[in-house]
Chain A
């Protein structure tokens, strides 16, 4: 079963992406709960804080980083609720910066 073997191998190798945990129809700027806010635009950068679907953000700028869901762009932003500033994959946000870092 070639396809199954490939699928499993990838599952074991993946380890450090930010991912959501909960569905809730809150009207915030993160698509998921527990979105990691990192010190830089890659999945090995330090986690500075977490974003929740109830939180809003102030986008600052964007730059390239680790590809998440086929997308390389990460947004530097300030979490309005926690005051933490850092990067998250743009795939986990619903508001994005218009200017490049």
Chain B
């Protein structure tokens, strides 16, 4: 693990333990623990800039779960990701053929989300009304693993592909981590700058995305909207202080088949986020903090983007038949 800062999981526990406190006080304590925000008392609805907060213009987002954000420009786009996956397939297959699995096809080892798949959650949980109505808090469009008999891969092929698993012997002649490991090492080389073992590619983008979200959670405009959302939920009979508390609940509360109670909770949740403008406020505030961080670290981000470009160029060379 390369990120030692407090995680959201810890943040939510903090909220839960301090339930008798006002939401603003709990959010403030969490923000202080994260070390990213001022210790000045939060003022719900306070004007932009009075706590050193960036100015924001809150505009309606037709699809808040997929709203574009400033840091997106520094990651792979979908076409680049496709090129990387195709290159990984080619490199893995070349290696598997080399170690004795002549008919191996890497595409048989995984399935991907369909072309129509889209995100339905944001940093404040479920925000998609259509998904709430259809699936409640569940993820729609996942492969059905209950249908048909489960595939079990040949242990020898698994060892060649992924390396030794659970104490099983390695396949003779296969590289460390198997052929999949070798392909990944070629396409995602370790960082040659920064801390040892730093992740390949987007380490800085990940760090800044996390920082922006931490700051957005403590922002007075967001905490004010959260208070309104909580009141909206309470009016509908659901007593919950923050979307993060609810988001945590989503994972373990709804375990059986989807019930009408879950659908009601999910649709009320999304409707309250729209009514109180929490969805749009979150997007605007998060984008503002990302913009601040991008401006501050532009040189480093540009450097990281250059490295990503090199990764994509190597992948394109593999596709053209020159990199395996």
Contact = CB atoms under 8 A, between A and B. Distances in A.
Q: Which of A28, A55, A58, A82 has the most CB of B within 10 A?
A: A58
A54 B110 contact: no
A52 to B, nearest CB: 4
Interface stretch (B38-46, B93-101, B202-210, B316-324): B202-210
A68 B1 CA distance: 23
Contact of A24 (B64, B137, B209): B209
Given A34-B210, A52-B202, A69-B138, A78 B184 contact: yes
B8 A25 contact: no
A19 B69 contact: no
Contacts, number: 237
A100 to B, nearest CB: 4
B237 A3 contact: yes
B9 A28 contact: no
A83 B2 CA distance: 11
Interface residues of B, number: 93
Interface string A63-82: 00011111101000011111
B134 interface: no
Contact of B237 (A4, A32, A80, A98): A4
Interface stretch (B23-31, B80-88, B220-228): B80-88
A22 B16 contact: no
Interface stretch (B49-57, B111-119, B292-300): B111-119
Q: Contact size class for A?
A: 35 or more
A52 B113 CA distance: 17
A90 B128 CA distance: 20
26 contacts: A3-B238, A4-B237, A7-B238, A7-B239, A11-B246, A12-B16, A14-B248, A15-B9, A16-B9, A17-B251, A17-B252, A22-B210, A23-B283, A25-B69, A27-B76, A27-B77, A52-B205, A53-B75, A56-B81, A67-B255, A70-B254, A70-B257, A71-B139, A81-B188, A95-B112, A100-B150
Interface of A: 1, 3-5, 7-8, 10-28, 31-34, 36, 43, 47-50, 52-56, 58-62, 66-71, 73, 78-84, 90-91, 94-100
The 9 closest A-B pairs by CB, nearest first: A17-B251, A23-B122, A54-B202, A100-B150, A26-B75, A4-B239, A27-B81, A22-B213, A52-B206
